[in-house]
Amino acid sequence: MPVGTQGTVKAVSPRELHELHAQIILGNTYHLYVRPGLDVIRKLGGLHKFMGWDGPILTDSGGFQVFSLAKLRKITPEGVHFQNHLDGAPCFIGPETSMEIQHTLGSDIVMAFDECPPHPCTHEEAAKSLELTLGWERRSLDWWAGRNEGGERPLLFGIVQGSSYPDLREESARSLVAMGWDGYAVGGVSVGEPEPEMMAAVEHAVPHLPADRPRYAMGLGTPPQMVEMVARGIDMFDCVLPTRVARNGTAFTAAGSLNLKNACFTLDEGPIEEGCGCYACANFARAYVRHLVKAEEILGLRLITLHNLHFYLGLMAKARAALEAGTFAAFRSEFVGGYKPHREST
Amino acid sequence: MPVGTQGTVKAVSPRELHELHAQIILGNTYHLYVRPGLDVIRKLGGLHKFMGWDGPILTDSGGFQVFSLAKLRKITPEGVHFQNHLDGAPCFIGPETSMEIQHTLGSDIVMAFDECPPHPCTHEEAAKSLELTLGWERRSLDWWAGRNEGGERPLLFGIVQGSSYPDLREESARSLVAMGWDGYAVGGVSVGEPEPEMMAAVEHAVPHLPADRPRYAMGLGTPPQMVEMVARGIDMFDCVLPTRVARNGTAFTAAGSLNLKNACFTLDEGPIEEGCGCYACANFARAYVRHLVKAEEILGLRLITLHNLHFYLGLMAKARAALEAGTFAAFRSEFVGGYKPHREST
């Protein structure tokens, strides 16, 4: 899922998202709640119509952003009181508020409201946080009970927490499955922990999640991390990397990431990635993209953003095809083995 | 002509330019000479191929930018020594260099190398500058004599100077016509002078320019200014306004310009301009565009840029149609009369 934090996938139009074959995008509840606010989105007919995107939208619960962006937080069993990061105005989000916001946005996949504990934290802290989160998730689910009787309700996803503690990850997963969600996310990963710990968090959760429901690893990751997560049973991802690093001149390729600001690309007539069919690679040389990035031209980051999203979505399409063809093991070892984190040159 | 200063019309892709029915764009010789430099553009096969634009390109001579951007200029009869605005490296551009650069860029319409005197300046200063300019223009034209015998050479345009002095404007125009150019530009306008003086500069030049050659007013202007210039016999324009003001949240409409940051658009469900068929107006509400601009999202300035270019190109298409239909006088008074410089609200 390309990430559309503030009602737009950064630098990309809905038409371009369709051309990239994006199946679904993510919207950030916290950001949209703070700006433009629900009055605007309600008046404009919901988030889909507001942003001109007619495909599915998954919205997060706002929890993670409250904990990472807002100031002066006060956590109570009811929810979280905070000052927003824009103008410091006092705000409150609890499980019921989060559901109401996501309902107003018109989300297709609603995430439970959870607390994301900091990394590292003690077992005691993680256990206490999990207890709070499970209560909030229960209330998130209950909010929807009996609603939308006549119509379709969105899909509801619970979020496995438990920090780096296997027993808590298992407890979290089992408790959520007992509640019965449409899908299950693994949260509290990619929060600063070493990669083996991130993989372990997923490994401790996945075996306890039903195989016939989507599993979603939140906020991940690098291309090899995603393939490794697929190998561990994850079906869905959202990631800001393809759009974020593009704005800094970094492009993803199957051989690794390239910093297109590097002088070695000054006269390079080749496309960002040989054999790539995206608009950027079909029409422009690395030398041109480098020039645009160096000259701080918006088209430069646009072209790299398009390429990076094409690359990420294409990587997942290849993973799906390999799974269906029964060749995933070979695909995984070839891709992960051939990927250099910082390729930096040709 | 949308302006593509650094090898891109700011924030717009070549595909979008085609969809906007842009017939020709402008490239800036000075900027491209300084960055990425001719080695890059030569290696990449010329400016068209470099930037992926297969339509015509008009290049300016670099003169205006040398006088407005570069530092420590020293003007000699030979040309201009200066330090470029990026790294202060010593550079030189004279008429022959300018022609060579424009030739290397692969320009379709080459502008003569001229001096643009500051505003205001005395008659003596303007006369002296004009003498220098006429010599440089002669040498610009001579550079092409005998070149490209076998193939097509680009069109060559002379530039009328003479500041705000009618006698000098006339002398400049007559001298250029005697040299025999493919087209004629009026330069040294929109350099800080009051609008009546700008109109007068054009009025003093046009009667002395052949009716069967294109006339081009450089660096203009607001929508009513362009219509007024058409009324005075001008055929071509280049202008950074549609792209530049878009990046500040300002959109052009037939009723005047709108600052989409204004609070009055917060809940506005209408398009930027009612009845407009551009991508932005066909798909997004003012409330959404305002949100994007306030949130500093790139898609916001992209959408306004597309609308503004559509508006400018559409305005010229309407002027052409009115001229052909013999209804230009009515079109002019209706448009200019109905346009408010700062409409600011609905």
What's the mean pLDDT in A21-37?
A: 97
Of the candidates B44, B295, B297, which has its C-beta nearest A269's C-beta? B44
Q: Name every chain A residue with its beta carbon within 8 A of the beta carbon of B294.
A: 35-36
Could you tell me whether strands A79-83 and A90-93 are parallel, antiparallel, or unpaired per DSSP bridges?
Answer: antiparallel
Q: Catalytic positions of A, please?
A: 60, 238
Q: Read off the pLDDT band of A282 (50, 70, 90).
A: very high
What is the average pLDDT value for chain A, to the nearest integer? 95
**Could you give the CA distance from residue B137 to residue B159 in angstroms, rounded to a whole number?**
8
Q: Is B291 on the interface with A (CB under 8 A)?
A: yes
Q: Name every chain A residue with its beta carbon within 8 A of the beta carbon of B289.
A: none
**CA neighbor of B221 nearest in space, from B248, B255, B198, B204:** B198
pLDDT at A149: 60
What's the mean pLDDT in A174-178?
A: 98
Architecture of the domain delimited by A3-243: Alpha-Beta Barrel (3.20)
What is the average pLDDT value for chain B, to the nearest integer? 95
Q: Is A298 on the interface with B (CB under 8 A)?
A: yes
Give span(s): CATH 3.20.20.105, chain A: 3-243
Burial class (CB in 10 A: 0-12, 13-18, 19+), A329: exposed
Q: Is B40 on the interface with A (CB under 8 A)?
A: yes
Q: Name every chain B residue with its beta carbon within 8 A of the beta carbon of A266.
A: 36, 40
Q: Is B53 on the interface with A (CB under 8 A)?
A: no
Amino acid letter, residue A138: R
pLDDT at B146: 75
Whether B344 shows a pLDDT value over 80: the answer reads no
Q: Read off the pLDDT band of B164 (50, 70, 90).
A: very high
Question: B3-242 maps to which CATH number?
Answer: 3.20.20.105
What's the mean pLDDT in A208-216?
A: 98
Query: Are A295 and B7 an interchain contact pair (Cβ–Cβ within 8 Å)?
Result: yes
Query: Are A288 and B15 an interchain contact pair (Cβ–Cβ within 8 Å)?
Result: no
**CA neighbor of B155 nearest in space, from B98, B214, B229:** B214
Give span(s): CATH 3.20.20.105, chain B: 3-242
End-to-end alpha-carbon separation of chain B, Å? Answer: 29
Whether A77 shows a pLDDT value over 70: the answer reads yes
Instruction: Write the DSSP assignment of B115-150 as a string of letters.
Output: ----SS--HHHHHHHHHHHHHHHHHHHHHHTTTTSS
pLDDT digits (tens, 9 = 90+) for B128-163: 999 999 999 999 999 999 786 666 799 999 999 999
